[in-house]
Structure 1
Amino acid sequence: MLRLRQLVLAAHERAPVEQALRQLLAAPSAHHDPGVGRFGLTNAVLAAGCDFVEVVSPSAPGTAVGRWLTRNGGDGGYMLMVDGPPTITAPDRLASLGVREVHRVELPDVVDVHLHPRDTGGVLLALDAVDPAGSWRWAGPAWTGGSPTCAGGLLEVTVAVPDPGEVVRRWAALLDVAAAGSDCRLQLDHGRQHLSFVPGAGDVAAVTAARLALPGAERRAADVGGVRFEVVPLEEKT
């Protein structure tokens, strides 16, 4: 199974975006990972069903996130993280596709690889292979080595890019999935998730919209951190 597991927002100020996400997702708390400090960042990871939304902010000058915020002209959707089989992170497979790795970590419960955005044509893409299934150590101790009972999560994410046709072909190869016709859309998680690419206004790729289904949620929408979020009840998924 290949699943879109985490959407990452980049923001100049983390705290207000974190608070807005907590209200939108009805998340009781967030996980703050001190490990991102080595990248000059602070973060907050919030559970959204079985998936996650993270916000990162620069805490030091000269970070990749800071440079992206400048190019983007403000807060926005910076990164996507995909959970898949071990083969998806294999170095020889990625090398054969002509994509460079900018970060790789191999731990007993996860292999995490970040790909160079100039080679993917889209936003920063992370490929993760976790063991056991459903775990997600980036969300903290409750998700390390297992997972709490959960339901719902990300349904659709929209990414604005300079050349949607080229990017959808590139990401289809990177994710080892078939493009869904000619509409620049990829299906993940056996068709339960969709990743759509649309023309952007500039030359910077960014996630612009996300739709989630959460148990017991009331239908609602809000602009948070430069991304248009829509939350629907898990029972509807429409």
Structure 2
Amino acid sequence: MTIPRLRQLVIAAATLETADQLGELLGLGEPFIDPGVREFGLENRVYAIGDQFLEVVVPIAEAAPAQRFIDRGGEGGYMAIFQTDDLDALRARVDGMGIRRVWNIDLPDISASHLHPADIGGAIVSVDEARPAGSWRWGGPHWREQAVPGRLASAAMESPDPDGLAQRWALALGLTVDERVLYLDDGAIVFREGKTERLAAFGLYLPDAEEILERAEAMGLDVDEREISFAGVGLSLLE
């Protein structure tokens, strides 16, 4: 099995206005609206950045897990989706660890398993195997035409026990922790101390970073150097 890739990051938000604002802020293309997420009591918008994706999900049912997430702590980082070339091996590994798989699907072009956030910690983790590897059903049929240049480089997890959280994620993903960092195929997951376990920040490479920072200021968002506070997530514009 090759090292997993970070393929998609997800924010849970209270309204679709947040999704529209994200697209405006980052200068993203037309989003894909996936009717399949209604199974989870959600509406969504999926934006393509290179061959990776930023998604905003909005609960439309009181019983939706995303609604409970927002009720507990407000809008924020909700899910991280990784791509593997051997999902069977990962499923066997997490089953052996006692990490529950709360949703599984096997389609001709993609298979996926969602890992219970109470077991792995910090966020919902999905691990997906796309066929062919360069495809991505969740981005919609036209994501290549709608993508803007750039990439998702990293995500930061916070926890009162960052070492323990990092170890659980490492074991599940088949990786090794290196000083609170999991190095992926073309990115990294960083673990740092925080009051609660949460998906706290996304690291992005985008070519028009200075314009994005100017738009953030104009939109009244909090900006700390190159990190924008947006819907409970720090959007870090990397150089």
Alpha-carbon deviations, 1:185-220, whole Å to 9, x = none? 11101xx31101122223xx3222111113x32343
**SS of alignment partner, residue 62 of structure 1:** coil
Q: Quick check: 2:28–2:148 contact (8 Å CA) kept in 1?
A: no
Is the Cα–Cα contact under 8 Å of residues 201 and 233 in structure 2 kept in the other structure? yes
Give secondary structure in 2 for the equivalent of 1:141: coil
Does residue 185 of structure 1 match 2:185? no
Of 193, 196, 204, which aligns to 2:190?
A: 196
Give, in whole Å, the separation in 1 of the partners of 2:160 and 2:64.
23
- Aligned residue in 2 for 1:44: 45
Residue type of the alignment partner of 2:192: V
Q: CA deviation at 1:66?
A: 0.8
CA distance in structure 1 between the aligned counterparts of 2:77 and 2:67, rounded to whole angstroms? 13
Q: For 1:69, what is the secondary structure of its paired residue? A: helix
Q: Within 5 Å, which residues of 2 pair with 1:97-116?
A: 97-116=97-116
Distance in 1, matches of 2:138 and 2:130, equals 11
Matched, 1:95 2:89: no
Report Cα offsets for 1:106-135 as digits up to 9, x if no partner: 001111100011110221100011111121
Aligned twin of 2:57: 56
- 8 Å contact kept, 1:89–1:127: no
- Supply the distance in 2 between the matched residues of 1:48 and 1:17 (Cα, whole angstroms): 18
Aligned to 2:209: 218
Q: Which residue identity lines up with residue 186 of structure 1 in the other structure?
A: L
2:162 pairs with 164, 180, 194, which one? 164
Residue 117 of structure 2: aligned partner: 117
Matched residue of 2:61: which SS? coil
1:88 CA drift (Å): 5.8
CA 1:199–1:158 in 2, change beyond 3 Å: closer, same or farther? same
Instruction: Name the counterpart of 2:5.
Output: 3
Change (3 A) 1:90 1:178: closer
Query: Which deviates more from structure 2 when the two are superposed, residues 154-163 or residues 97-106?
Result: 154-163
Taking the TM superposition and a 5 Å limit, the aligned residue runs for 1:13-28 are: 13=15, 15-28=16-29
Partner SS state of residue 12, structure 1: coil
Compared with structure 1, are the counterparts of its residues 91 and 228 closer, same or farther at alpha carbon in structure 2 (3 Å cutoff)? closer
Using the aligned pairs only, state the percent identity: 36
Runs (4+) of structure 1 exceeding 6 A deviation are none
Cα shift readout 1:48-80 (whole Å, capped 9, x = no counterpart): 2221111111101111111111111x1100110
Q: TM-score, normalised by structure 1?
A: 0.86
User: How many pairs were matched up?
Assistant: 221
Alpha-carbon deviation of 1:89? 5.7
Helix, strand or coil at the partner of 1:166 = helix
Structure 1 residues not aligned, in runs of 5+: 233-237
RMSD: 1.9
- Distance in 2 of aligned mates of 1:89 and 1:209: 29
